[in-house]
Amino acid sequence: MIELWDFYAEWCPPCQQMAPIFEELEKEFTGRVAFRKIDVDNEPSEAAKFKVLSVPTFVILKDGAEIERKVGAVGKEVLKVWIEKNLP
């Protein structure tokens, strides 16, 4: 199973815009994708580990290793197609 991590911050307007989209996709991909939200202010070590410089940043991991990332707000369909492309 792949994982999708959302690096975000509460003070970030694009992150707030992406939050409901992330939640919708989490429901749509239940059992196929593990979703995780990482607040960069509360978990700076995770952000540093993945060299996250901007929020929102979305990272797809497989077996714990990053395979792709997207930076910035994107539409739901763009994110959905990107996830599907990375499913095994």
The answer to whether 17 touches 8, Cβ cutoff 8 Å, is no
Which pLDDT does position 81 carry in this prediction?
Answer: 97
Region for residue 64 given its phi and psi (left: phi exceeds 0; alpha: psi -120 to 50; beta: otherwise): left
Domain span holding position 24? 2-85
Rounded CA-CA distance 67/79 in Å is: 15
Which pLDDT does position 88 carry in this prediction?
Answer: 87
Note down pLDDT in tens along the chain; length 88 residues: 999 999 999 999 999 999 999 999 999 999 999 999 999 999 999 999 999 999 999 999 999 999 999 999 999 999 999 999 999 8
Which pLDDT does position 69 carry in this prediction?
Answer: 97
Range 13-19, long-range pairs (CB < 8 A, 24+ positions): 14/55, 14/56, 14/72, 14/73, 15/55, 15/56, 15/73, 17/73, 18/56, 18/73, 18/74
Which pLDDT does position 56 carry in this prediction?
Answer: 98
- As for how many domains the chain has, the answer is 1
Which pLDDT does position 80 carry in this prediction?
Answer: 97
CATH code (residue 34):
3.40.30.10
Predicted model pTM = 0.95
Residues classed as catalytic: 12, 15
Residue 26's SS3 state is helix
